[in-house]
């Protein structure tokens, strides 16, 4: 994904099940957690529990790599849950000289297509005998097919592994716990499929909530707004 801003823009980033790697080629980016802290020039963003407002200054250019769930573990040796919720400078995960080289090459590219090809080739070169963990991938698909409305105990009962080792493996390869992953899937599915013709009570029940106050609390934590406020004027989210 290319994020380019001429006049500056603010974006409300909701929690997601995917991880992101970003290259800031021009301009500055700050976030509401610390408006004085500028994002590193290249960083990896872990899975978060709550929304984040990101501000792009004038004349910014950023290239984002959105990994499929669990796929970032193919490129980084660090257990992914260790930087959940935070943007971590890429040179903490990859040799600093290699990061500088790819940053310089990205700045020299004439088109976005060239930048995308450069990053794809750089990532492919980092792959070494990688085999996706089929058990974790199966769990991810089960959670997504249930729209997040699934009990982890029920999920583990179908797997040839006990709960503790499964959860450790899932956190390491995906970046968060199965329970939190399911919670994100459930809330994103609820938001993506919201219809103005539905009542908020119906929406909550359809997502597996049986307690309205619990639903509102979870929703506010996820988006920073109550359901009524959010759906009145949904913010732009990328």
- For the four alpha carbons of 121, 122, 128 and 134, in that order, the dihedral sign comes to negative
Q: Tell the burial category of 172 from Cβ atoms under 10 Å away from its Cβ (0-12, 13-18, 19+).
A: middle
> Rounded CA gap, 118 and 23, in Å?
12
Residue 231 confidence (pLDDT): 87
Q: Which residue has the higher pLDDT, 39 or 101?
A: 101
Dihedral of CA 77/83/87/88: which sign?
negative
Q: What is the Cα–Cα distance from 91 to 214, expressed in whole angstroms?
A: 40
pLDDT tens column, 83-140: 887 788 999 999 999 999 999 999 999 999 999 999 999 999 988 778 889 999 999 9
pLDDT-derived band at 66, boundaries 50, 70, 90:
very high
The bridge status of strand 52-56 relative to strand 29-31 is antiparallel
Indicate the domain borders of the chain: 2-126, 134-224
Interatomic CA distance for residues 196 and 179, integer angstroms: 29
Mean pLDDT score, 7-28: 89
Same CATH topology for 2-126 and 134-224: the answer is no
Q: pLDDT grade, residue 237 (50/70/90)?
A: low
Helix (H) or strand (E) holding 223, with range, is: helix 212-223
What pLDDT, on the 0 to 100 scale, is given for residue 55? 84
| Cβ(148)–Cβ(185) below 8 Å | yes
Share of the chain above pLDDT 90, in %: 58
pLDDT of residue 197: 86
pLDDT at 64 over 80: yes
CA atoms within 13 A on the CB side of 147: 11
Q: How far is the C-alpha of 116 from the C-alpha of 206, rounded, in Å?
A: 39
On whether the CB atoms of residues 44 and 83 are closer than 8 A, the answer is yes
What superfamily does domain 134-224 belong to in CATH? Homeodomain-like (1.10.10.60)
Read off the pLDDT of residues 203-216 as tens digits, 9 standing for 90 and up: 888 888 888 889 99
* Residue 229, phi-psi category: left (phi > 0), alpha (psi -120 to 50), beta (remainder): alpha
Task: Say yes or no: domain 2-126 is CATH 2.60.40.
Answer: no
Cβ neighbours of 13 (radius 10 Å): 17
């Amino acid at each position: 994904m290319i994020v380019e801003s001429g006049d500056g823009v603010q974006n409300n980033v909701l929690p997601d099940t995917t991880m992101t790697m970003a290259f800031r080629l021009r301009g500055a980016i700050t976030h509401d957690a610390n408006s004085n802290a500028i994002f590193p020039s290249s960083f990896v963003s872990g899975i978060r529990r709550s929304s984040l407002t990101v501000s792009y200054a004038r004349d910014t250019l950023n290239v984002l790599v959105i990994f499929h769930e669990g796929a970032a573990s193919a490129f980084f040796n660090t257990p992914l849950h260790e930087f959940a919720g935070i943007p971590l400078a890429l040179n903490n995960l990859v040799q600093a000289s290699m990061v500088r080289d790819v940053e310089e090459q990205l700045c020299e590219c004439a088109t976005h297509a060239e930048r995308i090809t450069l990053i794809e080739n750089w990532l492919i070169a980092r792959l070494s005998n990688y085999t996706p963990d089929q058990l974790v991938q199966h769990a991810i698909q089960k959670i997504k097919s249930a729209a997040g409305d699934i009990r982890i105990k029920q999920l583990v009962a179908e797997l040839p592994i006990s709960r503790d080792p499964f959860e450790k493996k899932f956190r390491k390869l995906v970046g968060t716990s199965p329970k939190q992953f399911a919670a994100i899937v459930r809330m994103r599915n609820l938001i993506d499929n919201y219809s103005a013709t539905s009542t908020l009570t119906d929406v909550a029940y359809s997502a597996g909530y049986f307690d309205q106050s619990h639903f509102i609390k979870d929703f506010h934590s996820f988006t920073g707004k109550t359901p009524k406020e959010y759906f009145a004027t949904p913010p732009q989210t990328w």
